[in-house]
Amino acid sequence: MSGRLAGKLAVVTGAASGIGAAIARLFTREGAQVVGIDLHPASIDGVELLQGDITDGPAMQAAIDGILARHGRIDVLVNNAGADVFSDPLQLQEEQWQRCFALNLDGAWRLCRAVLPGMVAQQAGAIVNIASVHGHKIIPGAFPYPVAKHALIGMTRSLGIEYAAHGIRVNSISPGLILVPRIEAWFEREPGARERQTALLPPRRIGTPEEVAYTALFLASDEARFINATDILIDGGRSQVYHD
């Protein structure tokens, strides 16, 4: 590998599986020292994995404080942790609404707020938020998840502008259909779903976590030093199709 993140300390949430694990592994191969945070941590070679709940603000602040105490700096934050919350709007319970935003917006904000003072002090840093194609296009039956992902993209753009003069870049990635464990489980539950979904995608294949990870690598690296407050779609062009 080329060492595109050599000498950098990266924090990745939701790092134990799926897109988060792919990012943690790739960042490690590219020279970063990676600390992962996950509710259910698992072993990944070369990655320091911590158990943590992104909805617990004090715990996340303590985790970041501990990382700074051990390593001295944080150069990259990837807010990957999140979860689907889908419901009929009129059947949605208050606790479901709160859970959706706690997992898909508030957690990312808590981590941003925890790392930003250190990044401001060192006048450098990159934050990458993992949003979703749901933040661009509305899929019926997916409420209120798209509301939170639209907000996450808005937060990305706002923070990117607020801290640009401090050498900090804040960008997001919006994956479409990606072969993560929950999607594989869905395909197992519903025979034919894989084939139907594949046929909808212009490349006639489903994306992989590694393809999202390479985009995160680019945004985290100095190669993207003039890219800020931007969202990148990774959906094979699906969101550009007007009608099937």
Across 99-135, b (16+ Cβ under 10 Å) vs e yields ebbbbbbbbbbbbbebbbebbeeeebbbbbbbbbbbb
Q: Is 214 considered catalytic here? A: no
The pTM of this model reads 0.96
pLDDT band at 160 (very low <50, low <70, confident <90, very high): very high
| Tens of pLDDT, residues 88-140 | 999 999 999 999 999 999 999 999 999 999 999 999 999 999 999 999 999 99
Query: Burial, 57: exposed, middle or buried (Cβ in 10 Å; 0-12, 13-18, 19+)?
Result: middle
Question: What Å distances lie between residue 161 and 112, 147, 167, CA to CA?
Answer: 14, 22, 11
* Catalytic residue of the set 145, 163, 214, 242: 145
pLDDT higher than 70, residue 8: yes
pLDDT band at 42 (very low <50, low <70, confident <90, very high): confident
Q: What domains can be seen in the chain, in order of their start residue?
A: 9-178+208-235 (3.40.50.720)
Instruction: Report the share of the chain in percent with pLDDT over 70.
Output: 100
Phi, psi of 185 (to 5 degrees): -65, -40
Query: Burial, 16: exposed, middle or buried (Cβ in 10 Å; 0-12, 13-18, 19+)?
Result: buried
Across 63-74, b (16+ Cβ under 10 Å) vs e yields bbeebbeeeebb
Span 214-222, average pLDDT: 98
Q: Order of strands across the sheet with 33-38?
A: 47-51, 33-38, 9-13, 76-79, 125-130, 168-175, 231-234
User: What is the reported pLDDT for 137?
Assistant: 95
Beta-ladder partners of 13: 37
Q: Count Cα neighbours of 30 within 13 Å in the Cβ-side half-sphere.
A: 19
pLDDT higher than 80, residue 1: no
- What is the amino acid identity at position 119? M
pLDDT band at 69 (very low <50, low <70, confident <90, very high): very high
* Token pair for 31: 């020279």
Separation of alpha carbons 88 and 116, rounded Å = 37
| Residue 236 and residue 176 in contact, taking contact as beta carbons nearer than 8 Å | yes
Separation of alpha carbons 176 and 188, rounded Å = 19
Mean pLDDT, the chain, whole residue set = 97
Instruction: Report the share of the chain in percent with pLDDT over 90.
Output: 97
